[in-house]
Chains A and B, each alone.
Chain A
Amino acid sequence: MTSTNKLIADTNESVPRIIYRGKTTITNDTATSNSQYYGTASVTIASIKANPPHVVRSYLYDSGNRELKRLPVYDNASVDMTTPAFIESTYHSLDSDGGSLRITFTRYSVIPETFTIYYNVYSTEITSGDIL
Protein backbone atom coordinates (compact mmCIF):
# COMPACT_ATOMS: atom_id res chain seq x y z
CA MET A 1 0.00 0.00 0.00
CA THR A 2 1.58 3.23 -1.10
CA SER A 3 -1.28 5.62 -0.57
CA THR A 4 -4.03 6.76 1.73
CA ASN A 5 -7.47 8.09 1.06
CA LYS A 6 -6.18 11.54 1.85
CA LEU A 7 -3.63 11.22 -0.93
CA ILE A 8 -6.43 10.29 -3.31
CA ALA A 9 -8.36 13.38 -2.28
CA ASP A 10 -5.27 15.53 -2.79
CA THR A 11 -4.50 14.20 -6.21
CA ASN A 12 -5.31 16.06 -9.38
CA GLU A 13 -7.07 13.33 -11.30
CA SER A 14 -6.11 14.90 -14.60
CA VAL A 15 -2.48 14.09 -13.82
CA PRO A 16 -2.34 10.33 -13.35
CA ARG A 17 -0.54 9.28 -10.22
CA ILE A 18 -0.04 5.88 -8.67
CA ILE A 19 -2.17 5.60 -5.55
CA TYR A 20 -1.75 1.89 -4.96
CA ARG A 21 0.83 -0.72 -5.86
CA GLY A 22 0.34 -4.40 -5.29
CA LYS A 23 1.13 -7.87 -6.49
CA THR A 24 -0.60 -11.20 -6.63
CA THR A 25 0.09 -14.70 -7.89
CA ILE A 26 -1.76 -16.38 -10.73
CA THR A 27 -1.71 -20.08 -11.59
CA ASN A 28 -3.32 -21.39 -14.75
CA ASP A 29 -3.79 -25.08 -14.05
CA THR A 30 -7.41 -25.74 -15.03
CA ALA A 31 -7.51 -27.64 -18.31
CA THR A 32 -9.83 -26.36 -21.03
CA SER A 33 -11.33 -28.26 -23.91
CA ASN A 34 -8.87 -26.83 -26.44
CA SER A 35 -5.62 -27.99 -24.84
CA GLN A 36 -5.06 -24.84 -22.84
CA TYR A 37 -4.86 -24.17 -19.12
CA TYR A 38 -6.90 -21.47 -17.49
CA GLY A 39 -6.59 -19.61 -14.20
CA THR A 40 -7.78 -16.46 -12.43
CA ALA A 41 -6.66 -14.38 -9.47
CA SER A 42 -8.61 -11.59 -7.82
CA VAL A 43 -7.60 -8.83 -5.45
CA THR A 44 -9.96 -6.46 -3.63
CA ILE A 45 -8.54 -3.12 -2.53
CA ALA A 46 -10.65 -2.08 0.43
CA SER A 47 -9.27 1.46 0.52
CA ILE A 48 -10.28 2.27 -3.06
CA LYS A 49 -13.89 2.53 -4.10
CA ALA A 50 -15.04 0.70 -7.20
CA ASN A 51 -17.00 3.68 -8.45
CA PRO A 52 -15.99 5.61 -10.37
CA PRO A 53 -13.47 3.04 -11.63
CA HIS A 54 -9.79 3.93 -11.58
CA VAL A 55 -7.26 3.31 -14.33
CA VAL A 56 -5.28 0.14 -13.63
CA ARG A 57 -2.10 -1.05 -15.31
CA SER A 58 -0.69 -4.48 -14.70
CA TYR A 59 2.33 -6.53 -15.65
CA LEU A 60 3.12 -10.23 -15.78
CA TYR A 61 6.55 -10.94 -14.32
CA ASP A 62 8.68 -13.67 -15.86
CA SER A 63 11.25 -14.27 -13.13
CA GLY A 64 13.26 -16.68 -15.29
CA ASN A 65 13.93 -14.05 -17.92
CA ARG A 66 13.62 -11.11 -15.48
CA GLU A 67 11.19 -9.29 -17.71
CA LEU A 68 7.80 -7.65 -17.38
CA LYS A 69 5.07 -8.10 -19.95
CA ARG A 70 2.48 -5.34 -20.12
CA LEU A 71 -1.05 -6.67 -19.84
CA PRO A 72 -2.95 -7.54 -21.89
CA VAL A 73 -0.54 -10.14 -23.26
CA TYR A 74 -1.41 -12.01 -26.44
CA ASP A 75 1.36 -14.24 -27.67
CA ASN A 76 0.63 -16.25 -30.75
CA ALA A 77 2.71 -19.16 -31.96
CA SER A 78 0.57 -20.04 -34.93
CA VAL A 79 2.23 -20.11 -38.30
CA ASP A 80 -1.02 -21.06 -39.93
CA MET A 81 -2.65 -17.70 -39.37
CA THR A 82 -6.06 -18.93 -40.47
CA THR A 83 -6.59 -20.35 -36.98
CA PRO A 84 -6.04 -18.33 -33.80
CA ALA A 85 -3.57 -20.29 -31.71
CA PHE A 86 -2.55 -18.29 -28.70
CA ILE A 87 0.16 -19.82 -26.61
CA GLU A 88 -0.70 -17.37 -23.87
CA SER A 89 -3.08 -14.56 -23.11
CA THR A 90 -3.40 -12.61 -19.88
CA TYR A 91 -5.66 -9.69 -19.10
CA HIS A 92 -7.38 -7.96 -16.21
CA SER A 93 -10.90 -6.75 -15.58
CA LEU A 94 -12.42 -4.49 -12.94
CA ASP A 95 -15.58 -4.83 -10.89
CA SER A 96 -17.01 -4.04 -7.48
CA ASP A 97 -16.62 -6.19 -4.38
CA GLY A 98 -19.01 -4.71 -1.86
CA GLY A 99 -18.25 -1.23 -3.16
CA SER A 100 -14.47 -1.68 -3.22
CA LEU A 101 -12.36 -1.99 -6.34
CA ARG A 102 -11.72 -5.58 -7.36
CA ILE A 103 -9.19 -6.52 -10.05
CA THR A 104 -9.47 -9.95 -11.61
CA PHE A 105 -6.61 -11.34 -13.66
CA THR A 106 -7.25 -14.10 -16.17
CA ARG A 107 -4.63 -16.18 -17.89
CA TYR A 108 -4.72 -18.84 -20.60
CA SER A 109 -1.66 -20.74 -21.69
CA VAL A 110 -0.72 -24.01 -23.29
CA ILE A 111 1.52 -24.65 -20.26
CA PRO A 112 0.28 -24.67 -16.64
CA GLU A 113 2.46 -22.13 -14.83
CA THR A 114 2.54 -19.74 -11.90
CA PHE A 115 3.48 -16.10 -12.26
CA THR A 116 3.57 -12.95 -10.17
CA ILE A 117 1.47 -10.08 -11.46
CA TYR A 118 2.27 -6.53 -10.41
CA TYR A 119 -0.44 -3.93 -10.67
CA ASN A 120 -0.67 -0.16 -10.27
CA VAL A 121 -3.86 1.78 -9.60
CA TYR A 122 -3.84 5.37 -10.82
CA SER A 123 -5.67 8.37 -9.44
CA THR A 124 -7.32 8.98 -12.80
CA GLU A 125 -10.80 7.62 -13.24
CA ILE A 126 -11.99 5.98 -16.44
CA THR A 127 -15.29 7.81 -16.20
CA SER A 128 -17.03 10.02 -13.71
CA GLY A 129 -20.04 7.72 -13.71
CA ASP A 130 -20.88 4.75 -11.54
CA ILE A 131 -20.65 1.82 -13.91
CA LEU A 132 -19.49 -1.09 -11.76
Chain B
Amino acid sequence: MQLLTTDRVTEDTNPLQRKIVYRGSMTVLDTDADAVIGSPSSTHTKTVTLPQLSTSEMTYDVDVAYAFIQSAAYSYSPTAPAITSFGTTSQESMTTKISSDNGKLKLTFTLYGNLVLDGSDPQLVFYYIVYATKITDEDIL
Protein backbone atom coordinates (compact mmCIF):
# COMPACT_ATOMS: atom_id res chain seq x y z
CA MET B 1 0.00 0.00 0.00
CA GLN B 2 1.45 3.32 -1.04
CA LEU B 3 0.94 6.47 0.97
CA LEU B 4 0.56 9.50 -1.22
CA THR B 5 -0.52 12.18 1.18
CA THR B 6 -0.25 13.74 4.60
CA ASP B 7 -2.74 15.54 6.77
CA ARG B 8 -1.34 18.79 5.46
CA VAL B 9 -2.30 17.91 1.90
CA THR B 10 -5.82 17.31 3.06
CA GLU B 11 -5.88 20.69 4.78
CA ASP B 12 -4.76 22.33 1.54
CA THR B 13 -7.54 20.77 -0.49
CA ASN B 14 -10.52 22.71 -1.76
CA PRO B 15 -13.42 20.43 -0.80
CA LEU B 16 -15.42 21.57 -3.81
CA GLN B 17 -12.69 20.38 -6.15
CA ARG B 18 -11.94 16.84 -5.16
CA LYS B 19 -8.34 15.78 -5.17
CA ILE B 20 -6.69 12.37 -4.92
CA VAL B 21 -5.16 12.03 -1.46
CA TYR B 22 -4.66 8.30 -1.22
CA ARG B 23 -4.25 5.26 -3.42
CA GLY B 24 -4.19 1.76 -2.05
CA SER B 25 -4.75 -1.89 -2.81
CA MET B 26 -5.35 -5.08 -0.92
CA THR B 27 -5.47 -8.73 -1.79
CA VAL B 28 -8.47 -10.66 -0.55
CA LEU B 29 -8.22 -14.21 0.70
CA ASP B 30 -10.73 -16.57 2.26
CA THR B 31 -8.35 -16.87 5.20
CA ASP B 32 -8.52 -13.15 6.01
CA ALA B 33 -10.28 -12.67 9.30
CA ASP B 34 -12.85 -10.34 7.81
CA ALA B 35 -12.99 -11.82 4.34
CA VAL B 36 -15.76 -14.37 4.27
CA ILE B 37 -19.35 -14.09 5.34
CA GLY B 38 -21.76 -16.80 4.38
CA SER B 39 -21.15 -20.00 2.54
CA PRO B 40 -19.91 -21.07 0.12
CA SER B 41 -17.56 -18.12 -0.15
CA SER B 42 -20.35 -15.89 -1.37
CA THR B 43 -19.39 -12.63 0.27
CA HIS B 44 -15.95 -11.13 0.73
CA THR B 45 -15.60 -8.00 2.82
CA LYS B 46 -12.39 -6.05 3.36
CA THR B 47 -12.10 -3.06 5.65
CA VAL B 48 -9.29 -0.56 5.90
CA THR B 49 -8.86 2.47 8.17
CA LEU B 50 -6.59 5.24 6.93
CA PRO B 51 -5.12 6.95 10.00
CA GLN B 52 -3.74 9.78 7.89
CA LEU B 53 -7.18 10.95 6.79
CA SER B 54 -9.36 12.64 9.38
CA THR B 55 -13.13 12.61 8.95
CA SER B 56 -13.57 15.81 10.95
CA GLU B 57 -13.11 18.06 7.91
CA MET B 58 -13.81 15.84 4.91
CA THR B 59 -16.24 13.09 4.07
CA TYR B 60 -14.20 11.86 1.08
CA ASP B 61 -15.20 10.08 -2.08
CA VAL B 62 -13.89 6.71 -3.18
CA ASP B 63 -13.45 4.91 -6.46
CA VAL B 64 -12.67 1.22 -6.40
CA ALA B 65 -11.94 -1.44 -8.95
CA TYR B 66 -11.39 -5.10 -8.39
CA ALA B 67 -9.13 -7.27 -10.45
CA PHE B 68 -8.61 -10.96 -10.79
CA ILE B 69 -4.92 -11.54 -11.20
CA GLN B 70 -3.97 -14.87 -12.68
CA SER B 71 -0.30 -15.91 -12.69
CA ALA B 72 0.75 -12.24 -12.70
CA ALA B 73 -1.29 -11.69 -15.84
CA TYR B 74 -4.15 -9.24 -15.95
CA SER B 75 -7.47 -10.99 -16.12
CA TYR B 76 -10.19 -8.37 -15.88
CA SER B 77 -10.91 -5.39 -13.71
CA PRO B 78 -14.42 -4.03 -13.38
CA THR B 79 -14.91 -0.66 -11.75
CA ALA B 80 -17.15 -1.18 -8.77
CA PRO B 81 -19.96 -1.46 -8.26
CA ALA B 82 -20.35 -3.94 -11.06
CA ILE B 83 -22.92 -6.52 -11.91
CA THR B 84 -21.61 -9.33 -14.02
CA SER B 85 -23.30 -12.36 -15.52
CA PHE B 86 -26.76 -11.93 -14.10
CA GLY B 87 -28.22 -15.16 -12.85
CA THR B 88 -25.22 -17.35 -13.29
CA THR B 89 -22.74 -18.78 -10.87
CA SER B 90 -20.22 -16.12 -11.80
CA GLN B 91 -22.50 -13.29 -10.74
CA GLU B 92 -20.67 -10.56 -8.86
CA SER B 93 -21.63 -7.24 -7.39
CA MET B 94 -19.87 -4.86 -5.07
CA THR B 95 -20.68 -2.18 -2.52
CA THR B 96 -18.45 0.62 -1.19
CA LYS B 97 -19.08 2.11 2.24
CA ILE B 98 -17.50 5.23 3.75
CA SER B 99 -17.51 5.66 7.53
CA SER B 100 -15.41 6.81 10.46
CA ASP B 101 -13.24 4.78 12.81
CA ASN B 102 -12.59 7.03 15.81
CA GLY B 103 -12.31 10.07 13.58
CA LYS B 104 -10.30 8.42 10.82
CA LEU B 105 -11.55 7.40 7.41
CA LYS B 106 -12.78 3.81 7.25
CA LEU B 107 -13.54 2.10 3.97
CA THR B 108 -15.48 -1.13 3.59
CA PHE B 109 -15.57 -2.99 0.31
CA THR B 110 -17.91 -5.94 -0.08
CA LEU B 111 -17.81 -8.19 -3.11
CA TYR B 112 -20.59 -10.67 -3.67
CA GLY B 113 -19.83 -13.63 -5.84
CA ASN B 114 -19.39 -17.36 -5.74
CA LEU B 115 -15.65 -17.10 -5.27
CA VAL B 116 -13.10 -19.31 -3.62
CA LEU B 117 -9.99 -17.33 -2.75
CA ASP B 118 -7.47 -19.71 -1.27
CA GLY B 119 -4.31 -17.98 -2.46
CA SER B 120 -4.08 -19.92 -5.69
CA ASP B 121 -5.00 -18.41 -9.03
CA PRO B 122 -6.80 -16.19 -9.52
CA GLN B 123 -6.07 -13.72 -6.77
CA LEU B 124 -8.60 -11.00 -6.05
CA VAL B 125 -7.23 -7.50 -5.49
CA PHE B 126 -9.16 -4.36 -4.57
CA TYR B 127 -7.64 -1.12 -5.89
CA TYR B 128 -9.04 2.09 -4.47
CA ILE B 129 -8.59 5.82 -4.84
CA VAL B 130 -9.62 8.29 -2.15
CA TYR B 131 -10.57 11.85 -3.03
CA ALA B 132 -10.69 14.64 -0.47
CA THR B 133 -14.05 16.34 -0.76
CA LYS B 134 -17.09 17.23 1.26
CA ILE B 135 -20.16 15.30 0.25
CA THR B 136 -22.18 17.44 2.64
CA ASP B 137 -21.61 20.25 5.11
CA GLU B 138 -23.36 18.22 7.80
CA ASP B 139 -21.45 16.27 10.42
CA ILE B 140 -22.60 12.76 9.54
CA LEU B 141 -19.66 10.39 10.00
Residues of chain A whose beta carbon lies under 8 Å from any beta carbon of chain B: 2, 15-19, 21, 23, 57, 59, 61, 63, 65-70, 72-79, 81-84, 86, 118, 120
Measured CA separation A2–B141 after assembly (Å): 20
Interface centre among A17, A70, A72, A73 (most CB of B within 10 A): A70
Beyond A16-B18, A23-B136, A66-B100, whether A84 also contacts B87 by CB under 8 A is yes
Does the CB pair A70–B137 fall under 8 Å?
no
Beyond A2-B16, A68-B59, whether A83 also contacts B87 by CB under 8 A is yes
Contacts of A15 in B (CB 8 A): 17
Contacts of A120 in B (CB 8 A): 133, 135
Dominant secondary structure of chain B at its interface with chain A: loop
Beyond A15-B17, A21-B135, A83-B87, whether A76 also contacts B99 by CB under 8 A is no
Does the CB pair B17–A17 fall under 8 Å?
yes
Q: How many pairs of A and B residues are in contact by the CB < 8 Å rule?
A: 97
Contacts of A76 in B (CB 8 A): 43, 91, 93, 112
CB distance from B88 to the nearest CB of A (A): 7
Interface pick from B24-32, B34-42, B70-78, B119-127: B34-42
Does the CB pair B42–A73 fall under 8 Å?
no
B61 within 8 Å of A by Cβ? yes
Q: In this complex, what residue of A is CB-closest to B133? A: A18
Does the CB pair B17–A16 fall under 8 Å?
yes
Contacts of A79 in B (CB 8 A): 38-40, 42
Selected A-B contacts with CB under 8 Å, 7 pairs: A18-B15, A59-B135, A68-B98, A79-B38, A79-B40, A81-B114, A118-B140
